Amino acid sequence: MEASEEEEPPSARKFSFWFIFCTVLVLLSLPVAFFAGGLPTFIFTGVAIIPLAFVMGRATEELAGHLGPGAGGLVNATFGTATELIIAIFALSAGLVEIVEASITGSIIGNILLVLGLSMLVGGMRFKEQKFDSNAATTRSTMLTLAVIAMIMPTLFLRYTDIPNVEAITDVMSIGIAAILITAYVLGLVFSLKTHRHFYNPVGEECIAVWSKKKAILVLTLATVGVAIESELLVGSIEASISATGISHLFVGVIIIAVVGNAAEHGGAIIMAWKNKMNLSVGIATSSSTQIALFVAPILVFVSHLFASPMTLAFEIFELVSIALAVVIVHLVSADGKSNWYEGVLLLMVYTIIAIGFFFHP
């Protein structure tokens, strides 16, 4: 037996603790949902998803390390937003289209305002100025601009076109635009993983696997099952929680569900900023947003047709304007390839202003 198998390193023992902790949370959530229901279930499952998302993210990174830069990057891109995707699918199956659209909005603005803002603030408290690759950041902000345009067209058509079958046409239009967004996402993977890989994978920042491939696949599978269980319980308790608190569907989706679904990315980006790996930190925040906008959202448009209430890309005007404003300010902040604590504060202030708006929105 190899030495590494005789005694686990401290990091492995620490992760084993988190894995056991997640298992206990999943098991406890079942009696909580059965006996308490409503708001207690919503809170408990929301908290449980956070460490599960972390475990899922870690397993994905380990598997990516075994597969190499190209295939590994594809795995990261595919499973990086798995938590949000799973929650959204369960919500669609329950007919909560408004919640799903709001969570997409919240994931996009949360990553580029809250996560990036916290990262710049935390990193800036330790380092006077931090640098990152502006080329990669600018490309991602351009991809987000494409997503905003893709949402504007069906939204304007639905709101301002006076024809009898406008909703049916908006549905067809959304399917076509969703196909374009997925194409843009796939081409973006080719760009970032092959033709211009040096922009996105700087030397010294490659993912190095510590686990065996078998362990990574097993942990990823189990974590995915755990997230699926908690997501179903979470979605099932949303309506009762909204009735108990009086908070709007829009606020729950944009702020609460989005923060829960992106918890793993939040922690990872902030830790990287603290270690002065701002390139990775900015990459985590902006990549997560582009994955949501160009991959998760269009996939959900197609998946929604399996259920009773199809989803379109015609978002609420309030959501659309929030995404557009977030994309504009993150482009301005990241264009020079430098960050400091004050820029982080500004991003957090913008996020807070938007959150206040959604809190009071009926």
Query: What pLDDT is stored for residue 2 in this prediction?
Result: 42
- Where helices occur in the chain by DSSP H, the ranges are 3-6, 10-31, 38-79, 82-93, 97-109, 116-126, 134-160, 166-190, 197-200, 213-236, 238-245, 249-251, 258-261, 263-274, 278-291, 297-303, 317-334, 341-360
Q: 215 or 13: whose pLDDT is higher?
A: 215
Least confident range of 41-50, 192-201, 345-354? 192-201
| Percent of residues, the chain, with pLDDT higher than 90 | 29
Give 173-180's long-range contacts (Cβ < 8 A, gap of 24+): 173/312, 173/313, 174/301, 174/311, 174/312, 174/313, 174/314, 175/301, 175/302, 177/150, 177/153, 177/298, 177/313, 178/297, 178/298, 178/299, 178/301, 178/302, 178/313, 179/298, 180/150
Give the pLDDT confidence score for residue 92 in this predicted structure: 92
The average confidence (pLDDT) of the chain is 83
Domain 7-360: top CATH class: mainly alpha
Cα dihedral 221→18→259→91 (10° resolution)? 40
pLDDT given for residue 326 in this prediction: 92
Which sequence spans correspond to the domains of the chain? 7-360
pLDDT, mean of residues 160-173: 89
* Other Cβ atoms within 10 Å of 149 Cβ, number: 11
Q: What angle do CA 203, 207, 212 make, to 5 degrees?
A: 145
9 band by pLDDT with thresholds 50, 70 and 90: low
Q: pTM, whole model, 2 decimals? A: 0.83
Mean pLDDT, range 224-235, rounded to an integer: 87
Q: Cα(335)–Cα(342) distance, rounded to whole angstroms?
A: 16
Do 333 and 117 form a contact (C-beta atoms < 8 A)?
no
Q: What are phi and psi of 276, to 5 degrees?
A: 65, 30
172 band by pLDDT with thresholds 50, 70 and 90 = very high
In the predicted model, is pLDDT for residue 74 greater than 60? no
Contact at 8 Å (CB) between 305 and 91?
no
CB 83 within 8 A of CB 235: no
At residue 6 the predicted structure's pLDDT band, cuts being 50, 70 and 90, is very low
Cα–Cα separations (whole angstroms), residue 286 to 50, 79, 118, 220, 269: 20, 16, 13, 23, 10
Q: How confident is the model at residue 152 (pLDDT cuts 50, 70, 90)?
A: very high
Mean local confidence (pLDDT), 105-111 = 90
Task: Give the least confident one: 57-66, 145-154, 281-290.
Answer: 57-66
Mean pLDDT within 346-357 = 94
Higher pLDDT, 327 or 270: 327
- 326 and 292 Cβ atoms separated by less than 8 Å: no
- pLDDT tier at 73, thresholds 50, 70, 90: low
